[in-house]
Amino acid sequence: MTAYQPTGEPGAATGPAQGAGPARYDAVVLAGGAARRLGGADKPGVRVGGRPLLDRVLAACTGARTTVVVAAPRPTARPVTWAREDPPGGGPLAALDAGLRHTTAEHVVVLSADLPFLHEPTVDRMLSALRTSGRDGVLLTDPGGRDQPLVAAYRAPRLREELALLAGRHGALAGLPLRRLTAELDLTRISDPVASFDCDTWGDIATARARIREHGHVLDEWISAVKDELGIDLDVDTRGLLDLARDAAHGVARPAAPLTTFLVGYAAAQSGGGPEAVAEAARKAVALAARWAQESTSGDRPSGEPQASAGDVAPDATPDTRPDAG
């Protein structure tokens, strides 16, 4: 387990380093562990914030050219390449070696499948630091200063070189700890108490689930979960849509809020989709809500127009033609 500290939020907010953007990369996600401290549960499939832990990690490396998951195949939120260590359950070095065989990029991001708070900006930051440092790798450390070699970016040729040396020295990679590899590498370390938080126990799972529901996190987490569930890859102005919902609720009627935002989404889809289409549809709906609300105020009546009395009928009202109508 990595200790959790809620302050700072570096896992979610840290962006790429200034200067050139991150290099093209591949990703290897190790997801085949025994999860003994979870009683043998299917840890990659455990849900945090409505999403399996594995899918949360995959969402953090969508920029990868190839993403390899080392585990038995399962449904995932996006396509991946599957690999298996030999023998299955042979440990992290054997799994890493199996995953690397499916990659070709100079840089590779190596992740465990139990990182609920890892986000893409942190992956970009590690890659940018790797490219500019000239070292063999960049990894995160937890609040206690402990290395987290499965939240890291490495130069793939150096990993292959050291793995081959270890295999030759020990006869096989199965059963060897990760520190045998990292001890031979020149590494840059970045402290990140949030992104490095991993879920080894049910207590860790409970902590992660509680944080998801904290004020300030729950809305973003919910939107991300909905987009994953619906297969939507779209960045929208959440604040703008919330303002629209507020205007519709206050200026029209409370049930108008969800219906209006649904119609905005539908209109955007009809226009080809994308953030610009959503913004344009929302702009029109906001203007309509403002006009609607304005009509309910006397200040909008043209100068000299008399107030309508309770008995007045609107000019376009249909006359009552019932036989007993007065």
Q: What is the C-alpha separation between 103 and 284, in angstroms, rounded?
A: 47
Give strand pairing partners of 82.
69
Q: At 152, list the tokens.
A: 């890291």
Per the CB < 8 A criterion, the answer to whether 26 and 68 are in contact is yes
- pLDDT, tens only, 89-107: 899 999 999 999 999 999 9
Q: Strand 187-191 to strand 137-141: parallel, antiparallel, or no bridges (unpaired)?
A: parallel
What is the predicted pLDDT for the residue at 21? 44
The pLDDT value recorded for residue 214 is 79
SS3 content of the chain, % helix, strand, coil (to 5): 40, 15, 45
Mean pLDDT across the stretch 30-55?
Answer: 87
Q: Where are the domains of the chain?
A: 10-212, 234-297
- Cβ-contact 62, 26 below 8 angstroms: no
Domain 10-212: give its CATH superfamily. Answer: Spore Coat Polysaccharide Biosynthesis Protein SpsA; Chain A (3.90.550.10)
Give the SS3 label for residue 48. Answer: strand
Cα-based distances in Å from 154 to 17, 100, 278: 17, 11, 39
* Both structure tokens of 294: 């304005």
Q: What phi, psi does 23 have (nearest 5°)?
A: -70, 160
**Is residue 313 pLDDT above 70, yes or no?**
no
End-to-end, the C-alpha distance of the chain in Å comes to 80
Q: What distance in Å separates the CA atoms of residue 288 and residue 277, rounded to the nearest whole number?
A: 17
Q: Mapping DSSP to helix (H, G, I), strand (E, B) and coil, where does residue 58 land?
A: helix
Reply yes or no on whether the pLDDT at 6 is more than 50.
no
The token pair at 7 is 């302050």
Check pLDDT > 60 for residue 276: yes
Give the residue from 181, 134, 176, 173 showing the smallest Cα distance to 155.
Answer: 134
Asked if residue 161 lies in contact with residue 146, where contact means CB atoms within 8 angstroms, the answer is no
Alpha-carbon distance of 251 to 292, in angstroms, equals 7
At a CB cut-off of 8 Å and minimum separation 6, what does 215 contact?
A: none
Global pTM value: 0.72
